[in-house]
């Protein structure tokens, strides 16, 4: 498979002690605060653990969120706001705007920010699997599922969490709708890349592959368009990635569409389609160089040197030469001056975001336990407060690119 994906960095966050001394009036209340602190630490550690898989991540997510919901859900049998929602301060950086810290004393801000990192983890996990030398069918399914899950989480944040925040996200922040929308569409496009790789490996009908590639190119174009109204100083590199993938999959589209035309004895049109494929592949090569030279957050790589990229260039050239030979021996058709109109619609393989739901409220929470928190007393001074508020950048593992043998989904 050996696919390459652009990845923005994780959000960083300050440690949270949940030391509600004075507010937590019973041992059970104090224990749940300790459990919140420990499950949060465990979840944050997994983001950079190269041995973590989706099952381990889900267990940690369920562990923390089932407790955190006790600070959000209504627990006193009324529709009133949870009294604990605004008792703890949370600090997070943004993936696009460097080390700028956003802070809100709101458990829903914590929920949405942590969900964002969980979605990012799923994209990075998918990227790590997709970049392997030999990708098994099961691993390809995991890549596909992880990207769909990420899309579902980003969509959940936008549809369910952001509107509940007291302080709305500023322009270009992670929780702002344009950023979330871009992540959703990008994840869908990348999942379709997996589908295309599988369709090529199994030698499916070129018309199906062309239609899937066209839908994928449109996804990347849509994602790029969403970012046009945001500051290029922090979206420029991301946009170059989206643009090069758009051109790359248009090259795929015209290449496989040309094969469909050749089978239909439309050799002249097939040649013109392959010429268009060459044009878009050349444009993608240029964008690869621009991507490398553009400063901004996110992974730095040499996408034009990846085998999955180079293989398409060779395939386009070989297919064009084949069409030209056939035209010179058999068809003798004129090559149209205009590229063929693309009226392609994929009926199979299109990707939707996987719906994502929060785990249920932890069984340890009850009205009695909720009542044991007395917010009128106010938390006592925490001597470790200054230290806890420090936000350190996330040190992500330095994963060296694997040697690309050219193997695809097996």
CA dihedral for 295, 296, 297, 301, sign (positive or negative) = negative
Distance CA(254)–CA(257), nearest Å, equals 5
Distance CA(102)–CA(135), nearest Å, equals 39
Q: Are 217 and 193 in contact (CB under 8 A)?
A: no
DSSP 167: S
DSSP 159: I
Q: What's the confidence (pLDDT) of residue 338? A: 85
Q: What's the confidence (pLDDT) of residue 99? A: 77
3-state SS, residue 102: strand
Q: What's the confidence (pLDDT) of residue 287? A: 94
CATH 1.25.40.280 fits 12-175+361-384, yes or no: yes
CATH fit for domain 205-351, picks 2.30.29.30, 1.25.40.280, 3.20.20.70, 3.90.420.10: 1.25.40.280
Q: What's the confidence (pLDDT) of residue 398? A: 64
Q: What are the mean pLDDT values of the chain's consecutive 10-residue runs (410 residues total)?
A: 82 95 94 97 97 97 98 85 95 88 96 98 95 87 97 98 95 96 97 93 91 95 97 94 96 94 91 94 93 83 72 86 85 82 70 93 94 84 53 77 37
Q: What's the confidence (pLDDT) of residue 356? A: 95
* Per-position b or e across 74-102, b if 16+ CB within 10 A of its CB: ebeeeeeebbbbbbbbbbbbbbbbeeeeb
CA atoms within 13 A of residue 20's CA, in its CB half-sphere: 30
Total-model pTM: 0.92
Q: What's the confidence (pLDDT) of residue 405? A: 35
CA 234 to mean position of chain CA atoms: 17
Query: What are the residue ranges spanned by the domains of the chain?
Result: 12-175+361-384, 205-351
**Residue 249: which of 224, 229, 270, 219 has the closest Cα?**
219
Q: Are 255 and 212 in contact (CB under 8 A)?
A: no
Q: What's the confidence (pLDDT) of residue 347? A: 64
The number of residues making up the chain comes to 410
Phi, psi of 153 (to 5 degrees): -70, -45
Distance CA(5)–CA(271), nearest Å, equals 31
Distance CA(235)–CA(232), nearest Å, equals 5
Contacts of 328 (CB under 8 A, 6+ apart): none
Same fold: 12-175+361-384 with 205-351: yes
Element (H, E) at 55: helix 54-68
3-state SS, residue 145: helix
């Amino acid at each position: 498979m050996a696919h390459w994906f652009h990845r923005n960095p994780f959000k960083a966050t300050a440690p949270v002690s949940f030391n509600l001394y004075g507010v937590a009036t019973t041992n059970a209340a104090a224990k749940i605060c300790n459990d919140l602190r420990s499950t949060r630490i465990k979840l944050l550690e997994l983001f950079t653990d190269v041995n973590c898989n989706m099952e381990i991540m889900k267990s940690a997510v369920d562990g923390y969120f089932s407790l955190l919901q006790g600070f959000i859900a209504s627990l006193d049998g009324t529709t009133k706001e949870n009294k604990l929602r605004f008792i703890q301060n949370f600090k997070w950086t943004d993936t696009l705007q460097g080390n700028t810290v956003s802070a809100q004393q709101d458990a829903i801000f914590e929920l949405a920010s942590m969900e964002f990192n969980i979605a990012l983890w799923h994209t990075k996990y998918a990227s790590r699997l997709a970049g392997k030398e030999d990708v098994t069918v099961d691993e390809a399914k995991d890549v596909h599922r992880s990207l769909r899950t990420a899309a579902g989480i980003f969509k959940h944040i936008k549809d369910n969490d952001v509107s509940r925040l007291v302080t709305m996200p500023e322009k270009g922040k992670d929780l702002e709708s344009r950023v979330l929308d871009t992540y959703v569409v990008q994840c869908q496009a990348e999942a379709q890349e997996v589908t295309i790789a599988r369709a090529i490996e199994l030698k499916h009908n070129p018309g199906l592959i062309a239609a899937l590639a066209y839908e994928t190119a449109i996804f990347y174009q849509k994602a790029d368009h969403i970012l046009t109204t945001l500051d290029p100083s922090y979206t420029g590199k991301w946009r170059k990635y989206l643009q090069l993938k758009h051109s790359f999959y248009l090259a795929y589209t015209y290449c496989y569409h040309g094969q469909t035309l050749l089978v239909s004895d439309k050799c002249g049109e097939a040649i013109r389609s392959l010429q268009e494929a060459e044009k878009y592949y050349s444009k993608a090569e240029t964008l690869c160089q621009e991507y490398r030279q553009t400063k901004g957050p996110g992974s730095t790589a040499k996408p034009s040197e990846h085998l999955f990229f180079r293989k398409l260039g060779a395939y386009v050239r070989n297919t064009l030469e084949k069409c030209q030979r056939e035209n010179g021996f058999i068809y003798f058709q004129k090559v149209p001056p205009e590229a063929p109109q693309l009226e392609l619609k994929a009926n199979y393989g299109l990707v939707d975001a996987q719906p994502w739901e929060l785990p249920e409220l932890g069984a340890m929470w009850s009205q009695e336990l909720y009542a044991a928190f007395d917010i009128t007393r106010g938390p006592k001074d925490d001597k470790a407060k200054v230290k806890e508020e420090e936000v350190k950048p996330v040190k992500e593992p330095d994963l060296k690119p694997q040697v690309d043998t050219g193997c695809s989904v097996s």
